[in-house]
Amino acid sequence: MTAPARILPERYDPAPVESKWQAIWERDGAFRAEPLSRDGERPVLPARPKAYVLEMLPYPSGEIHIGHVKNYTMGDVIAHYRRRTGAAVFHPMGYDAFGLPAENAAIRTGEPPARVIDRNIARIRDQLKRLGFSVDWDSEIATSDPEYYRWTQWLFLRFLERGLAERREAAVNWCPNDQTVLANEQVIDGRCERCGAEVELRQLTQWFLRITDYAQRLLDDMDELVDWPERVLTMQRNWIGRSEGARVAFRSGDEEIPVFTTRPDTLFGATFFILAPEHPAVGRLVAGLPQEAAVREYAAAAARSSAAERGDAERAKTGVFTGRSVVNPVTGEEIPVWVSDYVLMDYGTGAIMAVPGHDERDLAFARAHDLPVRRVIAPEGVAADEPVEEAYVGPGKLVNSGFLDGMEVPEATRAVTEWLAERGLGERTVGYRLRDWLISRQRYWGAPIPVIHCPACGVVPVPDDELPVLLPEVDDYAPRGQSPIATNAEFVEVACPSCGGPARRETDTMDTFVDSSWYFLRYTAPHLSSAPFEREVVDYWFPVDQYIGGVEHAVLHLLYARFFTKVLHDAGLVAVREPFARLFTQGMIYRDGAKMSKSKGNVVAPDDLVERFGADTLRLYVLFMGPAADDAEWSDRGVEGQRRFLDRLWRLVGALEPGAPAVRPTRESLEDDPAALELVRKAEATVAKVTGDIAERFSFHTAISAVQELVNLGTKHVSEGTLETERERVALRYAAQTAVSLLFPFAPHVSSELWEALGGADLWREPWPEADPAFLERDTITVVVQVNGKLRDRMDVAPGTGREELLGQARALPKIASAIDGREVVREVIVPDRLVNLVIR
Ligand SMILES: [Zn+2]
Ligand SMILES: [Zn+2]
């Protein structure tokens, strides 16, 4: 007797399967994208729909961690799905390679950062390849490559031409530990985003990009971003911080000092005036006065305290009198000018009119320094001359306010603004919390800012054809308040491109967030030497259809990238105004209740897991952990569970006979065969479920569990020996191959191997299955999900699904979770088979 022919080895061993398919995909160029811009080639634009699937590029600081695996696996699922539904897919990968980690390693070891980065990139690339991501490796870029930063510099010069890059003196955030300035967005609660040191304010001349010119458009265009998480949009809106008010001019002699106020109606109550210690007018006002020394001493002390300390509402309101006054434009009164560190250069104009009767902090200052307090708004039942006990900020009628007396606040606001405008003393205006983006860094490992300082000509741009300005070699990478490249005389001392006289190169390098503000464009032209990218190809691929990354970038990278794209749009370089059509922000992975870190010893290494379980198991597990947007807790047993599932699937397929993939039976042909009907019906329901979960709901854990149910059903029939007829054997084969086909985006290697065993070929290009509606009848119904009565999403459920189950599923939907956004659900309206409405406060 001979054993029956087997279509697979008995045991599933992931290592040979994974290396086999990785080699095949590479050989066949399976994931290569067209069109890309290449030297000397005209791009051919496909007529097919396109899908640009992008994950935030990694920082090559060492190796990838488990969070990266989750991020890239999500993107990979979308990319595979879009490919198999007929789209031209672009799924590139690169490295955000400038910046502090490589540089700090260089300072420690003396090894040049470029070499550290090359080694780290090689390591990460190898890790990514072992995980089998369907990346177009031809488009790989590294932002520290001269071929790349040449164009970062070129784009900087376009900003300069358009008046959007400028050098000016300002109070800036200084990290004493990293010895460099930081952008406002890189200061988190008064601390350096990178190292956690308390940030100081310093008065320095630095390069800025004028993102504030785009504040309103960054707000307005959010209307287009319907597929962004509400949380991210809210964070951006708050960061931009639009407020309506008036700009009012106060004069002190020849010096005009504007303020921005949201309460011009209280102008008659402005009894003193305060400047931030860094305000440029301070020095001019006090020059030669007896108060000069005291004011300078106060400003120096303020520079040593952090912005967080200074912003603390509870802090004692210190200050010094300047010896000067300004004229209140409505009363004509001379009011004293003080300097105090609770006024930040960062907000408004760095000067305020103090209205102690109606502002808490101004009142605290007035009490501390014995300054007059005047009531100018009286609520119902309060007399105009009643003394102010606490700052009153509610509604009421104007008092002690000349021509405004008797008006309500909104009317007074309009009247005083008109009055000021008629006299050229002020105007209605809009204020923003957003500040210009400080891009200078006094560090080595970044793109040099491509300008030259000439004593005769001023700031002269490096001519385009002399780019890139290459980072010079230095002996010591340690920052000492200026970039280490300033120590290389050959680099610094140059001839002025304009007059030929002796001049000096700029030695600041650019913030690495400049590099990452346009990398998604360069992917389309990774090695083009004539331009950063070509408009035709960019216009084909953009906007990015799906962007995936961490929410921590909400007011950093995601804001900068939007700004860059708008500027490039205005310069005619790209058609889109927004780079990312859909954004998904994934949750974090914790272990033992904490963020994974080497110091806590709770890190799981992707390589070890690939070694032990296989890449496919790891990919499955990181998506099976729970809703992709939520934080999740790592479980070793969970990984083992996914491996056991793949073993089960392997055995199921291995038990089938050799042959070609089964053709789907018709519904009618199975009417009298309940076992076969059950299998095919389940297969069809699984197709519908997985398709919806990937394409609409971003719900990968439920997609995986649906495939597992299908596999379990097949396994049950095999082990119980219930399948006897030919029709039943076909149904089982069909169910198994459907499971394999649907599992492919998540676990591509083992799926490809099993597909081949089932008589198929190249599953990566096999059309995505479509469910036959004949089998779906009454299998699922669509329930609408509302928040506060507004339609937010739909979900497919079995008829008669219970209230608790409906509620649980509804709340797990990413769109619903983001609509609720942490607020309290006060009522749940559930109409089974029809609707779920969550009422939130
Ligand atoms: Zn720092
Ligand atoms: Zn010159």
Distance 171 CA to ligand 1 centre (A): 17
The DSSP call for residue 830 is E
The pLDDT score that the predictor gives to residue 777 is 66
Q: Identify which ligand lies nearest to the alpha carbon of 495.
A: 2
From ligand 1's centre to the CA of 203, what distance in Å? Answer: 18
Residues with CB under 5 Å of ion ligand 1 are: 175, 177-178, 192, 194-195, 197
Burial 397-423 (b: 16+ CB within 10 A, else e): bbbbbeebeebebeebbebbbebbeee
| Residues 634-646 as b or e (16 or more Cβ within 10 Å = b) | beeebbeebbebb
pLDDT (0 to 100) of residue 200: 85
Res 4: pLDDT:
61
The alpha carbon of 465 and the centre of ligand 1 are apart by a number of angstroms equal to 35
Decide: helix, strand or coil at residue 458. strand
Q: Are the beta carbons of 551 and 569 closer than 8 angstroms?
A: no
Q: How far is Cα 841 from Cα 826, in angstroms, rounded to an integer?
A: 7
Interval between CA 568 and ligand 2 midpoint (Å): 29
Which pLDDT score is estimated for 801? Answer: 82
Point out the ligand nearest to the CA of residue 194: 1
Distance 212 CA to ligand 2 centre (A): 31
- CA of 448 from ligand 2 middle (Å) equals 20
Determine the distance separating the centroid of ligand 1 and the alpha carbon of 174, expressed in angstroms.
8
3-class secondary structure, 224: helix
Cα(839) to centroid of ligand 1, in Å? Answer: 44
Ligand nearest to the CA of 461: 2
CA of 499 relative to ligand 2 center, distance in Å: 4
CA of residue 96 to ligand 1 center, whole Å: 18
Ligand 1 center to 181 CA (angstroms):
9
Distance 481 CA to ligand 1 centre (A): 13
pTM: 0.86
What is the distance in A from the centroid of ligand 2 to the CA of 437? 28
Cα-to-centroid distance, 452 and ligand 2 (Å): 9
How many A from CA of 492 to the centre of ligand 2? 15
Q: Which ligand is nearest to the CA of 497?
A: 2
287 C-alpha to center of ligand 1: Å?
Answer: 35
Ligand nearest to the CA of 187: 1
Amino acid at 61: S
Ligand nearest to the CA of 496: 2
Taking the centre of ligand 1 as the mean of its atom positions, its distance from the CA of residue 145, in whole angstroms, is 24
Ligand number with the minimum distance to the CA of 179? 1
Chain centroid offset of residue 814 CA: 17
Ligand 1 centroid to Cα of residue 344, in Å, is 21
How far, in Å, is the centroid of ligand 2 from the Cα of 799?
Answer: 79
**Of 16, 130, 112, 17, whose CA–CA distance to 63 is shortest?**
130
Contact call for residues 140 and 93 (beta carbons, < 8 A): yes
> What separation in Å is there between the alpha carbon of 175 and the centre of ligand 1?
5
Phi then psi dihedrals of residue 181, to 5 deg: -80, 165
Q: Ligand 1 centre from 596 Cα, in Å?
A: 21
DSSP string, 163-195: T-EEEEEEEEEEETTTTEEE-GGGEETTEETTT
Instruction: Output the CA 626–ligand 1 centroid distance in Å.
Output: 35
Least Cα distance to 142 among 108, 176, 118, 167 occurs for 118
CB 606 within 8 A of CB 127: yes
Report d(CA 369, CA 320) in Å as an integer. Answer: 9
CA of 504 to the centre of ligand 1 (A): 28
Looking at the DSSP bridge assignments, the partners of residue 182 are 173
The predicted structure's pLDDT at residue 571: 98
Instruction: Tell me the sheet residues that pair with 334.
Output: 327
Helix (H) or strand (E) holding 828: strand 825-831
How far does residue 444's CA lie from ligand 2's centre (Å)?
A: 26
Q: How far is the CA of 387 from the centre of ligand 2 (A)?
A: 64
CA–centroid distance, 166 to ligand 2, in Å, is 18
* Whole-number Å distance between alpha carbons of 748 and 740: 9
Query: Tens digit of pLDDT for each residue in 368-407?
Result: 999 999 999 999 999 999 999 999 999 999 999 999 999 9
Ligand nearest, relative to CA of residue 503: 2
Distance CA 534, CA 151 (A): 13
Separation of 201 CA from ligand 2 center, angstroms?
A: 33
Angle at 829 between CA 825 and CA 831, to 5 degrees: 150
Rounded to the nearest angstrom, the distance between the alpha carbon of 101 and the centre of ligand 1 is 11
Centre of ligand 1 from the C-alpha of residue 443, in Å: 12
Count of C-beta atoms within a 10 Å radius of residue 149? 28
Amino acid identity at 102: A
Distance from Cα 242 to the centre of ligand 1, integer Å: 29
* Ligand 2 centroid distance, CA of 468 (Å): 20
Is omega for the bond preceding 532 within 30 degrees of 0, making it cis?
Answer: no
Give residue 209's identity as a one-letter amino acid code: L
How many A from CA of 107 to the centre of ligand 1? 15
Distance 459 CA to ligand 2 centre (A): 8
Distances (CA, A) of 660 to 542, 616, 656, 680, 760: 40, 25, 11, 17, 7
Q: What is the pLDDT of residue 479?
A: 86
The stretches in the chain having pLDDT less than 50 are 1
Ligand 1 centroid to 170 CA: how many Å?
19
Give the distance, in angstroms, between the CA of residue 832 and the centroid of all CA atoms in the same chain. Answer: 38
Q: Which ligand is nearest to the CA of 460?
A: 2
The ligand with the least distance to the CA atom of 499 is 2
pLDDT at 373: 97
- 172 CA from centroid of ligand 2 (Å): 29
| Nearest ligand to residue 176 Cα | 1
> Could you give the CA distance from residue 345 to residue 275 in angstroms, rounded to a whole number?
9
Q: What's the 208 CA to ligand 2 centre distance in angstroms? A: 23
Give the distance (Å) from ligand 2 centre to CA of residue 460: 7
Nearest ligand to residue 197 Cα: 1
- Distance of CA 181 from the midpoint of ligand 2 (Å): 28
**Strand partners of residue 494:** 503
Cα 587 to ligand 1 centre (Å): 26
Evaluate whether 276 touches 351 at the Cβ level (below 8 Å): yes
Ligand 1 centroid distance, CA of 697 (Å): 39
Find the ligand nearest to 175 CA. Answer: 1
C-alpha 456 to ligand 2 mean position (Å): 5
Distance between Cα 789 and ligand 1 center (Å): 47
User: Distance from the CA of 602 to the center of ligand 1, in angstroms?
Assistant: 25
pLDDT value of position 419? 97
- In the β-sheet with 594-595, what is the strand arrangement from edge to edge? 594-595, 589-591, 632-633
Q: What is the 3-state secondary structure (H, E, C) of 117-148?
A: HHHHHHHHHHHHHHCCCCCCHHHCEECCCHHH
Query: In angstroms, rounded to a whole number, what is the distance separating the alpha carbons of residues 394 and 372?
Result: 21
Q: How far apart are CA 296 and CA 339, in angstroms?
A: 10
Q: How far is the CA of 176 from the centre of ligand 1 (A)?
A: 7
Question: Between vectors from CA 749 to CA 745 and to CA 752, what angle results, nearest 5°?
Answer: 80
What is the whole-number distance in angstroms between the Cα of residue 236 and the centre of ligand 1? Answer: 23
Sequence-ordered list of residues with C-beta below 8 angstroms from that of 637, at least 6 positions apart, any chain: none
Kindly tell me the burial class for residue 308, based on how many C-beta atoms sit within 10 Å of its own C-beta (0-12, 13-18, 19 or more). Answer: middle
Peptide bond preceding 468 in cis form (omega within 30 of 0)? yes
The rounded Å distance from CA 445 to ligand 1 centre is 15
Distance 511 CA to ligand 1 centre (A): 13
In angstroms, how far is the first alpha carbon of the chain from the final one?
A: 74
Cα dihedral 667, 670, 674, 676 sign? negative
Q: Given the structure tokens 């008046």, which residue do they identify?
A: 163
CA separation for the pair 116, 102 (Å, rounded): 6
